[in-house]
Amino acid sequence: MNVAQLQAEIREFAAAIGIDKIGFTTAAPFVKLKDRLKQQQRLNYQSGFEEPDLDKRTNPLLLLDQAESIISIAVAYPSKMKDSPRGKKGERRGMFCRASWGEDYHTVLRDKLAQLELFILTKVPDARLRSMVDTGELVDRAVAERAGIGWSAKNCAIITPEFGSYVYLGEMITNIPFAPDEPMEDQCLDCTLCLDACPTGALIQGGQLDARRCIAFLTQTKQAVPEEFRQKIGNRLYGCDTCQTICPKNKGMNHTHQPGFTPDPALVKPLLLPLLSLSNRQFKEQYGHMSGSWRGKNPIQRNALIALGHFKDESAVPELVRLLAEDPRPMIRGTAAWALGRIGTAEAEVGLHQGYIAEQEATVKEEIDRAIKQLQTN
Ligand code: SF4
Ligand code: SF4
């Protein structure tokens, strides 16, 4: 096998199947990353969605016998939506982040990696290969950084000169000794715009994130959102793009050539009120193909309530009162109470008092009590 020739053929094939950027690195352990992850664990800055075993996250040899190299891939996604609907009074809308626009990127990248695996296997039938996207053990960004896809930026994203940070990442561990690419120089330099713009102060310092304060994480939790973050979440239903949209390196970056990622404006910027009454089946039918649906409808509906409170949308009061009285989920009743407290009409006040009398769950009663107090300060 001529490895250099195969590597060149892989680059060519990858471009032909719509992989926007490809890089190669060795399968050596990610030693510095392990130290950083240990520190993140110590500080309790992790989201809890990560693979807990730090050795597996940082040592490719534990994931594939005789691992020699890793192929890192990047696929660009758009940052702008055509015909974005405007929210107006009585018709407020929420927002899914860009990484949830169009088809679930996990499916798209897994498919491209599967095609790449087949291609390699036709050339090297006994090759050992293992691909992953996002939910695998390895840290996609660390692999991409070392493979020269982009630099590891202060907003914790990988920024590519060609597509900004609007790229999805995936990788394939192989037992073929491909020549590694050179990592890229940091180009953030003395800029701190993303740190200053983060609504919750989740970016502790350049490249260090307290995931538990990050809105991208908070919108995915299954529990009530701590009160200090609710107003900061605004109308975000899933994820947060602020530290990307503020970044000067993303200026003018809007790559729309991947047809699967074209957003449906009505879905990624949906009306809030109809979201609240969706059944599980309706949610799956309408949103199931989007990556932002992976935690089910409950977090999205909770975030829709937060958004209605954020907008102080008076037309939502009857529905919020209904949810407070009838919904079986304490998290939804509690968040509805918070939103009613923010909106603060006479009807909201009556609904809160009635809700308080009927409520059995202590945590929800506390929410209602706080919402009534909030009304008095409105
Ligand atoms: Fe801050 Fe949003 Fe970036 Fe999280 S995603 S670090 S909350 S700006
Ligand atoms: Fe780097 Fe500035 Fe972009 Fe933050 S906003 S990622 S510091 S270039």
Output the pTM of the full model.
0.95
Q: Are strands 167-174 and 129-132 parallel, antiparallel or unpaired?
A: antiparallel
Protein residue closest via CA to atom 1 of ligand 2: 188
| 8-state DSSP, 257 | -
Tens digits of residue pLDDT in 249-291: 999 999 999 999 999 999 999 999 999 999 999 999 999 999 9
Do the beta carbons of residue 346 and residue 327 sit within 8 Å? no
pLDDT in tens, 37-58: 999 999 999 988 888 899 999 9
What does DSSP assign to residue 167? E
Query: How many angstroms is it from 208 CA to the middle of ligand 2?
Result: 13
User: Among all ligands shown, which has an atom nearest to the Cα of 153?
Assistant: 2
Q: Is 166 strand, coil or helix?
A: coil
Under 8 Å between Cβ of 241 and 165: no
pLDDT in tens, the chain (378 residues): 799 999 999 999 999 999 999 999 999 999 999 999 999 999 999 988 888 899 999 999 999 999 999 999 999 999 999 999 988 888 999 999 999 999 999 999 999 999 999 999 999 999 999 999 999 999 999 999 999 999 999 999 999 999 999 999 999 999 999 999 999 999 999 999 999 999 999 999 989 999 999 999 999 999 999 999 999 999 999 999 999 999 999 999 999 999 999 999 999 999 999 999 999 999 999 999 999 999 999 999 999 999 999 999 999 999 999 999 999 999 999 999 999 999 999 999 999 999 999 999 999 999 999 999 998 887
Distance between Cα 189 and ligand 2 center (Å): 8
**205 CA → ligand 1 middle, Å:** 12
221 Cα–ligand 2 center, Å:
27
State which of 242, 244, 245, 250 you would mutate to test the pocket of ligand 1, scoring each by most atoms of that ligand within 8 A of its C-beta.
Answer: 242
Contacts of residue 244, defined as CB under 8 A and 6 or more positions apart, other chains included, come to 79, 98, 155, 157, 164, 165, 166, 194, 250
Q: Tokens 């107090």: give the residue.
A: 373
Q: Which residues line ligand 1 (CB under 6 A)?
A: 198-200, 202-203, 209, 214-216, 240, 242-243
Neighbours of 189 (CB within 10 A): 8
Ligand nearest to the CA of 193: 2
CA–CA gap between residue 91 and residue 294 (Å, rounded): 26
Classified as helix, coil or strand, 30 is: coil
The set of catalytic residues is 134
From the CA of 206, give the closest atom in ligand 2: 7
Rg, C-alpha atoms of the chain? 23
